């Protein structure tokens, strides 16, 4: 087996991974691996923008307060403050890297407003902010020269760990096994510092606005390597995904509501005021539950967004890409109600880390949506995700560079990959069937509203599926499809077990059997695989 050596291995090519990799290139050799082409990431599909204190009428305290309010008492306030206060400097660094945020004619930032924010503070680039950030950071990374190498179509299989040389009974990460998705070959990567930046887990659910790459790879790999996982029960469902029989996963950004769109029924009657005085700009957990409740109690397939009152000129200029995509599906924002339903959007839980991305496994770090730093609590404030990715990716790189001896042992041996008696698969229908079954089970039983009985059913089915998938994984040669199936099944189990452990309703976790909020907010932690 071929083994590549580097100082830093970064897995994932979104904002968090690129921020870490580009910064680390100043201190050593970086290998960034990504399972598709480098631009294919959750970042690339982010429409709304980046929340950041920018204008004098805003303040760090106000941004912190909005984040804490949305997080339903579970945010770590020290983490929130650290990330919020680091935001302006990181946004300036993004500009220096080539990111172009929209400005007004007088040169001041053209800020948007989204649900849960008490002021306008969302920097954006039209309605394709993520695509603009991804474009600029990829170009910047490629200018780093040979010290930053990007391997595309390289799918991480599992992390490699050895006994921690410092802490008895603990583990240290020394690299990973990687599948060449083009040739099918498997190679090893040896690195004393490994950064997971693989994005989220939206594909765990049947209906999601996430791209196909969001299959929880980093979370699942970290857990299998012994890392603690925190608060996976808090999965954010975006309230407004386009409802259309042929549209796969198109998100209608919360920025549309920030610019005055209302949520209405088919007759154009608003309903959000019955659920929250903030109306359509309430935090996402409240809006998603309201839409879900309206649909279920009234037997409706969807609800609607109405921004017709803003006029064609404004809509075409402020939301050119959303408008064009909707018109492709026969919906004109300037003249029609836009049919929407909630869909799985953002994993607020993840690998338990510090604000610098450190985990309980020596030499292993996680940043962005893969991590749970304590910023989001029980519900993420809109547009805080790109802020966290930018800030924590940089903080992680800076911490590693300042602590070069804190990683795994550099001379560790990466054992050759052993395929055992595995053979090429002639039963791919099993993968397809199990993929659909995991996602359908999660949508039906572990969605916006949960019950004890639904969670018990989900656990039983997911555990049976994990056993089948594990057997398939060892019987046949590894493929990207099998790896993604294995990861979503592990992530589904983590979500279900976390939801069963929380005996209250808080933020994104709403249980009909435990509808009240407990007086004390506590994290749900599932220890790494094999640990008590």
DSSP-assigned letter for residue 475: H
Question: In what helix (H) or strand (E) does residue 264 lie, and over which residues does it extend?
Answer: strand 262-264
Give the torsion through C-alpha atoms of 115, 212, 333, 236, to 10 deg.
-20
Burial class (CB in 10 A: 0-12, 13-18, 19+), 31: buried
Q: Single out the residue of 529, 502, 499 nearest to residue 518, CA to CA.
A: 502
| Euclidean distance between CA atoms 362 and 165, whole angstroms | 9
284 labelled catalytic: yes
Considering the candidates 90, 131, 284, 380, report the single residue annotated as catalytic.
284
CB-CB contact of 227 with 242 (8 Å): no
Q: Which long-range contacts (CB under 8 A, 24 or more apart) does 424-428 make?
A: 424/476, 424/477, 425/472, 425/475, 425/476, 425/477, 425/479, 425/482, 427/472, 427/476, 428/481
Contact 343, 240 (CB under 8 A): no
Query: What residues pair up with 344 in beta bridges, in sequence order?
Result: 208, 237
DSSP string of 86-121, one letter each residue? HHHHHHHHHHHTT----B-TTSSB--B--TT-SS--
Catalytic residues: 284
């Amino acid at each position: 087996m071929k083994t590549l050596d580097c100082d830093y291995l970064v897995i994932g090519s979104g904002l968090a991974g690129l921020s870490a990799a580009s910064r680390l290139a100043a201190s050593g050799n970086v290998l960034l691996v990504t399972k598709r082409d480098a631009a294919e990431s959750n970042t690339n599909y982010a429409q709304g923008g980046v929340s950041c204190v920018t204008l004098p009428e805003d303040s760090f305290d106000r941004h912190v307060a909005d984040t804490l309010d949305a997080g339903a008492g579970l945010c770590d306030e020290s983490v929130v403050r650290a990330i919020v206060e680091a935001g302006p400097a990181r946004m300036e660094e993004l500009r220096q890297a080539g990111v172009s945020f929209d400005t007004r004619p007088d040169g001041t930032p053209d800020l948007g407003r989204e649900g849960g924010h008490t002021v306008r503070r969302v920097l954006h680039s039209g309605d394709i902010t993520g695509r603009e950030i991804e474009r600029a950071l990829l170009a910047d990374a490629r200018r780093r020269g040979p010290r930053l190498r990007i391997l595309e179509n390289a799918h991480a299989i599992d992390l490699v760990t050895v006994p921690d040389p410092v802490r008895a009974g603990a583990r240290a990460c020394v690299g990973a096994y990687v599948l060449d998705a083009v040739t099918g070959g498997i190679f090893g990567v040896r690195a004393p510092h490994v950064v997971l930046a693989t994005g989220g887990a939206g594909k765990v659910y049947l209906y999601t606005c996430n791209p196909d790459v969001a299959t929880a790879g980093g979370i699942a790999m970290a857990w299998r390597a012994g890392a603690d996982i925190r608060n996976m029960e808090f999965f954010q469902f975006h309230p407004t995904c386009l409802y259309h029989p042929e549209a796969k996963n198109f998100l209608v950004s919360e920025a549309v509501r920030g610019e005055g769109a209302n949520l209405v029924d088919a007759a154009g009657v608003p309903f959000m005021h019955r659920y929250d005085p903030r109306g359509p700009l309430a935090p996402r957990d409240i809006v998603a539950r309201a839409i879900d409740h309206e649909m279920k109690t009234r037997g409706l397939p969807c609800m609607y967004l109405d921004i017709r009152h803003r006029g064609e000129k404004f809509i075409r200029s402020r939301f050119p890409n959303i408008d064009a995509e909707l018109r492709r599906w026969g919906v004109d924002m300037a003249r029609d109600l836009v049919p929407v339903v909630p869909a799985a959007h953002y994993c607020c839980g993840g690998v338990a880390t510090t604000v610098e991305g450190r985990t309980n496994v020596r030499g292993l770090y996680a940043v962005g949506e893969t991590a749970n730093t304590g910023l989001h609590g029980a519900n993420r404030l809109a547009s805080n995700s790109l802020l966290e990715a930018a800030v924590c990716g940089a903080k992680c790189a800076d911490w590693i560079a300042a602590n070069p001896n804190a990683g795994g042992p550099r001379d560790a041996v990466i054992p050759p990959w052993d395929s055992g008696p595995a053979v090429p698969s002639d039963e791919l229908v099993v993968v397809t069937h199990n993929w659909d079954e995991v996602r359908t089970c999660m949508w039906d039983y572990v969605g916006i509203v949960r019950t004890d009985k639904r969670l018990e059913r989900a656990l039983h089915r997911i555990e049976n599926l994990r056993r089948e998938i594990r057997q398939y994984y060892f019987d046949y040669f590894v493929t990207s499809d099998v790896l993604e199936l294995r990861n979503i099944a592990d992530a589904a189990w983590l979500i279900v077990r976390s939801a069963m452990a929380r005996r209250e309703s808080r933020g994104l976790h709403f249980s009909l059997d435990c509808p009240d909020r407990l007086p004390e907010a506590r994290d749900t932690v599932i220890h790494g695989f094999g640990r008590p």
